[in-house]
């Protein structure tokens, strides 16, 4: 079965089981340790990834692997609780599979969260970082291979992958909440190994402020489909090459979970504003 047909089959099954999504629904992808965001959703209906035809299944223990439909702060939300990483053995198109399904179902705004290591020494561990741009250092892209013209151009412009309006909204809501919000460039590497001190120096010299093992594949695919993207990283550790501290997955998850309250408050405020703007537009 062709990739497009698999995406359409998955989307049709989700709509059959969960119902069609409301106009203006916001897609959310929860990263490592941040799955608790979906606990705040109301009117929840969900499906396991394993039950959806053609859908990949995450092998990462900290990812729930569920598609969740509901509302949050008045906004209709379709959430991917868990994602697919290149280091698990998925290729780039599989890593972006969930985003393609969301787009096929009508999602036109996507919030992507992740856990990331801070490369910028001035950044604060535990703080969220709004992604202003990214560096894809994986050597691959979900656009490799045949282009589906119905989704987007073969050679999409990449000047503003992360929507300026949504970034400004995140900054404004962080100020209102009194939340320290970093702003910077996110880099995706293949993983799953952590970076060496020499690699850390190189990545920082290349212009990256934070580093992780996800998000770029999803953001590229979403941008290709004309979906507005907001990326927010939870900075779980600081990578200082001259005094590198051990960063185990256990510690990363613990920091992400400890910071989940701040991330959730910020994202809820953003969703509330998106819902309010949508209501005004319908009047």
pLDDT tens, residue by residue, 200-241? 999 999 999 999 999 999 999 999 999 999 999 999 888 877
Q: How far apart are CA 40 and CA 32, in angstroms?
A: 17
State both tokens at 16: 């059959």
Q: How far apart are CA 139 and CA 6, in angstroms?
A: 25
Q: How far apart are CA 98 and CA 121, in angstroms?
A: 33
Burial 143-181 (b: 16+ CB within 10 A, else e): beeeebeebbeeeeeeeebbbeebbebbeebbeeeebeb
Domains of the chain in sequence order: 3-282 (3.40.50.1580)
- Whole-model pTM: value is 0.93
Q: How far apart are CA 259 and CA 267, in angstroms?
A: 13
pLDDT tens, residue by residue, 25-84? 999 998 766 667 788 888 899 999 999 999 998 776 555 689 999 999 999 999 999 899
Does position 283 have pLDDT exceeding 80, yes or no? Answer: no
> Which DSSP string corresponds to 233-264?
EEEEEE--TTSPPP--HHHHHHHHHHTHHHHH
Query: Which residue, 272, 228, 282, 234, is CA-closest to 77?
Result: 272
| pLDDT at residue 42, as a whole number | 87
User: How far from each other are the two terminal CA atoms of the chain, in whole angstroms?
Assistant: 43
């Amino acid at each position: 079965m062709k990739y497009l047909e698999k995406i359409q089959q998955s989307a049709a099954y989700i709509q059959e089981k969960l119902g069609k999504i409301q106009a203006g629904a916001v897609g959310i992808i929860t990263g490592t340790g941040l799955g608790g965001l979906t606990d705040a959703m109301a009117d929840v209906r969900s499906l396991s990834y394993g039950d959806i035809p053609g859908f990949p299944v995450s092998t990462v223990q900290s990812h729930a692997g569920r598609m969740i439909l509901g509302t949050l702060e008045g906004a209709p939300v379709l959430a991917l609780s868990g994602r697919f990483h290149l280091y698990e053995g998925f290729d780039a198109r599989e890593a972006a599979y969930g985003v393609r399904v969301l787009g096929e179902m009508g999602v036109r705004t996507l919030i992507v969260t992740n856990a990331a290591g801070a490369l910028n020494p001035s950044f604060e561990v535990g703080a969220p970082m709004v992604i202003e741009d990214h560096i894809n250092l994986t050597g691959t892209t979900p656009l490799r291979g045949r282009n589906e013209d119905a989704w987007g151009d073969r050679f999409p412009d990449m000047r503003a992958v992360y929507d300026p309006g949504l970034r400004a909204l995140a900054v404004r809501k962080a100020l209102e909440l009194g939340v320290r919000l970093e702003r910077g460039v996110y880099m995706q590497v293949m993983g799953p190994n952590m970076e060496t001190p020499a690699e850390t120096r190189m990545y920082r010299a290349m212009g990256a402020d934070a580093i992780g093992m996800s998000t770029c594949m999803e953001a590229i695919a979403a941008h290709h489909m004309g979906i507005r993207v907001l990326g927010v990283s939870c900075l779980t550790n600081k990578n200082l090459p001259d005094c590198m501290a051990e960063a185990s997955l256990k510690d990363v998850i613990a920091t992400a979970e400890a910071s989940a309250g701040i991330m959730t408050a910020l994202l809820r405020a953003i969703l509330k504003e998106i819902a309010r703007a949508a209501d005004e537009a319908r009047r």
